[in-house]
Amino acid sequence: MSTNPPPRSIEELGLRESGEISLYLELIRVIEKDIDEIRAGDTRNGWTTWAIIAGIAGAGLLFLGETRKLTSFPTEQVETISLAGSLLYVLAITGIKLFSFDNLNIKPGRL
pTM of structure: 0.35
Question: For residue range 27-53, what is the model confidence (pLDDT) as tens digits?
Answer: 888 999 988 888 887 776 777 778 889
**pLDDT number for residue 107:** 60
Residue 105: pLDDT band (50, 70, 90) is low
**pLDDT number for residue 111:** 46
Q: Report the alpha-carbon distance of residue 73 to residue 77 in Å, rounded.
A: 9
- The count of other CB atoms within 10 Å of the CB of residue 102 is 5
